Structure 1
Amino acid sequence: MQTMMDRTSLKKAVEGNNAALWTGMYADDAEVRVIDQDHPPSKPLVLKGKKAIGAMYDDICARKMKHHLDESVIEGDHLAFAETCTYDNGTKVYFSAMAELKNGKISRQTNIQAWDR
């Protein structure tokens, strides 16, 4: 599924827990860096290519949790958004991302996430 980036599609992907829609928003050669408790800034998790990024979203969307898009901004070739997630057991996750767009697709993205322990 190929989807051009817009706020409506982003909201549908996030709140619909839709891995295919998420994956369709990335360029084939996209790169995502993840910074969190397990992957500090000096050693982030780096996912390269749509296949690796899609596997991440398949995993996330398979979890029993609710996602809420708190805010999003698309300006030119830049995207920023924040999301709050809640697992069925009440554990919360906060997620913030900055991304570069190329031809309407995410080409580079940095995620910063924190969750309850």
Structure 2
Amino acid sequence: MGTTASPAFDTEALRRGTEQADATTLLSLYAEDAEMRVVDRNTQPSHPKVMHGRSEISAMLEDLYSRDLTHKVEQCVIQGDQVSLTESCEYPDGARVLASSMISLRDGKIVDHTLIQAWDE
């Protein structure tokens, strides 16, 4: 009796979508019922920004990737259904952002994404 492997997560699409600022590609990696939490200087740990479902996540990604900002995936580690990711970003004026993500997958799609980000003041 064989076993069925779960679909693989598309790390190349993650890198390409991030570094090419392609919100559509990134959104395709999320399950319909995905949840994303963002913690930063404006949405601190006790009150994170929480987005439910692809439509809410889409609005955030479209806003983020419409900005004049470069993005680079620094590290991406996958173990089973868990992904850890660090991303560096830079605005034209030199201000930098560092983001760290923990992601849970189901059937090769993101179902839970916690993003922690810090940027130059």
Q: TM-score, normalised by structure 2?
A: 0.91
User: How many angstroms apart in 2 are the aligned matches of 1:63 and 1:51?
Assistant: 19
Match of 1:38 among 42, 45, 62: 42
Deviation at 1:6?
2.2
- How high is the sequence identity, in percent, across the aligned residues? 39
Match of 2:66 among 62, 65, 70: 62
User: Match for residue 32 of structure 2?
Assistant: 28
| Structure 1 unmatched runs, 5+ | none
1:115 counterpart letter in structure 2: W
Q: Superposed, which structure 2 residues align to 1:29-108 within 5 Å?
A: 29-108=33-112
Deviation at 1:89?
1.2
| Structure 2 unmatched runs, 5+ | 1-7
User: How many angstroms apart in 1 are the aligned matches of 2:13 and 2:24?
Assistant: 11
- Indicate conservation of the 8 Å contact 1:13/1:19, yes or no: yes
Alpha-carbon displacement from aligned partner over 1:52-99 (angstroms, at most 9, x marks no partner):
001111001100010010000111111110000001111100000001
Q: Which moved more, 1:5-14 or 1:107-116?
A: 5-14
